[in-house]
Structure 1
Amino acid sequence: MRFLNLSKKGVAIVLSAQLVLATQAVTMAQAEMLGTDQAINKYTALANRNALMDQIQRDDVQAEIVALGIDPAEAEARLAALSDAEIATMLTQMENDSAGADIVGTMFTIFVILLVTDLLCLTRVFNFTRCVR
């Protein structure tokens, strides 16, 4: 019976010590307020990184990377190492440098050039214009 009491005391002491240690680890966590701007910036940066990673994993991009003599795995590793600002800059450049992206502006410029040449009697494209002569 005495052995049973000792084993109960031993188990109680071990469980008490474990409980104290477990609660000490939990109290070390700290929380702080996270602003809306910070949360939006965090998820925007994550979305930008994922969009760029999706672009680099396309088959035509992979073929071009290999043609340039670059290992695709190394390119992905370097892309993962970029900062959020560098990724945002790269995406902005990709959007601005797209071929044929400003088709409306190009069509308007061509229309104005043809209109002026019709008014100067150099061409006869539009029926609604009259020569200046």
Structure 2
Amino acid sequence: MNISKLILSFILSITLLAQASWAQMVSTEALFKRSVIISSKEKVIQFTAREDVAKILGQMDVDPKMIEARIASMTDEEVSEIAYQIETLPAGGSAVGSVVGAAVFVFIVLLVTDILGLTKVFDFTRSVR
């Protein structure tokens, strides 16, 4: 009885492994290459049509029709590069976050050096030495 279960499980596991070995890998780019290119162009056009971007471009006397014509004349690689940069580059906001981050970093460094006894900046710390 136990041997028949062992043989049955062995045959089933070989069958399952054999079916999995027939599969082939297909990249996402190969499946959706055309739709990614179309969506990249649409993404760039939508970005330039945003209210804040259109306002800045209007201040620079740039015609929205000219922007769409230029995007349409770009190669797929150029549009993909611009779409990638739109997704990954940080937004150009104020530098308040950077200043606060730098101040916190300096505070922590001075606090650690005070605790280690290398400096004496803060009165509320006690040196380890």
**TM-score with structure 1 setting the length:** 0.53
- Whose RCO is larger (CA < 8 A, sep 6+)? 2
Aligned identity (percent) is 20
Q: Does 1:112 align with 2:105?
A: yes
Deviation at 1:86, TM superposition (A): 0.6
> Cα deviation per residue 1:6-47 (whole Å; 9 max; x = unaligned)?
xxxxxxxxxxxxxxxxxxxxxxxxxxxxx8633322211111
Name the CA distance, whole Å, in 2 between partners of 1:131 and 1:46.
62
Q: Which residue of 2 aligns with 1:91?
A: 83
Q: Which residue of 2 aligns with 1:121?
A: 120
Q: Does 1:70 align with 2:62?
A: yes
Name the CA distance, whole Å, in 2 between partners of 1:52 and 1:43.
14
> Cα deviation per residue 1:40-79 (whole Å; 9 max; x = unaligned)?
2221111111111111111222221121111111111101
Report the CA distance shift for 1:122/1:69 in structure 2 as closer, same or farther (over 3 A).
same
**TM-score with structure 2 setting the length:** 0.54
Structure 2: runs of 5+ lacking an equivalent: 1-26
Q: Which entry has the higher C-alpha Rg, 1 or 2?
A: 1
Deviation at 1:123, TM superposition (A): 4.6
SS of the residue 1:48 aligns to: helix
Name the CA distance, whole Å, in 1 between partners of 2:49 and 2:101.
36
Structure 1: runs of 5+ lacking an equivalent: 1-34
Name the CA distance, whole Å, in 2 between partners of 1:123 and 1:45.
57
